[in-house]
Amino acid sequence: MERLIGRHFGPIVVWAACLAAVTATAAGEPASEDAKLPEGVQVVWDISKAYRQTTPTRERICINGLWRWQPASNAADKVPVDGWGYFKVPGSWPGITDYIQKDSQTVHAHPTWKDVNLRSVTAAWYQREISVPAAWAGRRIAVSAEYLNSYAVVYVDGVRVGEGPRPAGTQIRFPAGEVDLTSACHPGDTHELSLLVLAMPLKGVMLSYADTAAAREAKGSVARRGLCGDIYLVSTPAGPRIVDVRADTSVRRKEFTFDAALEGLTANAQYTFRVQITKDDRSIKEFTTPAFRGSDLTCQTSLKEGRIRSTEEWMPDMLWDIHTPKNMYELHLSLLDAGGKVLDVLPALRFGFREFWIDGRDFYLNGSRIFFSAVPKALFCEILYRIRQLLVMP
């Protein structure tokens, strides 16, 4: 009788067990736990312990550290529910080593893919939890990557950011960029942030602007793959704001110029910049730019394609040079409205006052002739090889 039951009902029991496993996975329950970390290794996702930069109008919080990680296929489009290992951010994926690059980070592999050849991986998932500060209510929220190879799609709580048409701002492309998370993240809440990162050659990155599917098929090698730079959770003003700023200095003209990119300006509204330059917390130079409109150009200030450039006469006593690298200044830039209300304040930007130029066959730095030497790459490699042999000799 027992044999009869086993013969006729055994397959049904096995089928029911398989169905239960599939149902559990479909319901979002992980089919297996994350990879076990070695003793003493911990995942720290506490935002309160992270490095941050804060101004009166904005803040950015570093979310580096151990992230969940696993290899993926180039066609992947759904966030995995299981099979997670761990890998440190920032860090290039292991498996590619040469005289310049060596593996420096440990992959804590999940048993389901521990035997995968990581050298051949061209796509991978990253994941971690993020807690959005309640104080960010009313601000624009974004995730920012400072160095990426080569292309990333962002998901929040398992949903791709920017579902539907794919405008350029819904992906991060080499070498750096950010994605707006305002509609997907709520201040005071905790969310699951996932990134699908593809390592593709520059041709693929360029193709991705027009055809994401074709870009994923582009063939070529990528030396440093993955999230290779710092990752930040960023809050900025929802209205008029400074996106980017560059400092330009001229020793020959005795001028300081800043070039800033702006977003969210109203065409007919008036704005000004308040500029302060400091050194060792001492104010060295202060000025306010002429007023400008969102669609105008005024006096020495010109607005073009969202950027504004302003120049001021200034020649400091201490210049940056190869023998005086500590001669650095800090630029503090604030955007004001017509009534003098502060709309945005950037974190301080460090810069050195210097100028490099070429005259004929001669190179000049701050007016002094400077000499460079070049070594053929093959010779350089040979030198490194021989130094390495000397270091490992008994």
pLDDT in tens, 150-163: 899 999 999 999 75
What are the tens digits of pLDDT across the range 324-346? 999 999 999 999 999 999 999 99
What are the tens digits of pLDDT across the range 176-211? 999 999 999 999 999 999 999 999 876 656 665 555
What are the tens digits of pLDDT across the range 233-258? 999 999 999 999 999 999 999 999 99
Other C-beta atoms lying within 10 Å of the C-beta of residue 257: 16
Query: What are the structure tokens assigned to 282, written together?
Result: 């001492």
For residue 66, pLDDT over 70 is answered with: yes
For residue 8, pLDDT over 50 is answered with: no
Q: What are phi and psi of 270, to 5 degrees?
A: -100, 145
Q: Please name every residue paired with 219 in a beta bridge, in sequence order, or none if there are none.
A: none
State the chain's maximal CA–CA distance in angstroms. Answer: 102
- Give CB contacts under 8 A, 24+ apart, made by 324-330: 325/352, 327/352, 327/353, 328/279, 328/352, 329/277, 329/278, 329/279, 329/284, 329/353, 330/277, 330/278, 330/279
Q: What is the mean pLDDT of residues 279-296?
A: 91
Q: Check residue 62 and give its pLDDT.
A: 98
* Residue that wins the pLDDT comparison between 213 and 118: 118
What are the tens digits of pLDDT across the range 351-380? 999 999 999 999 999 999 999 877 676 666
Residue 146, judged by CB atoms within 10 A of its CB (0-12, 13-18, 19+), counts as: middle
Q: What is the mean pLDDT of residues 270-281?
A: 96
What are the tens digits of pLDDT across the range 29-52? 344 589 999 999 999 999 999 999
* Residue that wins the pLDDT comparison between 215 and 40: 40
Q: Check residue 10 and give its pLDDT.
A: 44
Tell me the C-alpha distance between 268 and 292, whole Å: 9
Q: Check residue 374 and give its pLDDT.
A: 74
Whole-number average pLDDT of the chain: 84
pTM over cut 0.75: yes
Is the N-terminal amide bond of 90 cis, ω within 30° of 0?
yes
Other C-beta atoms lying within 10 Å of the C-beta of residue 151: 23
| pLDDT bucket at 228, cuts 50 / 70 / 90 | very high
For residue 129, pLDDT over 50 is answered with: yes
What are the tens digits of pLDDT across the range 96-108? 776 666 778 899 9
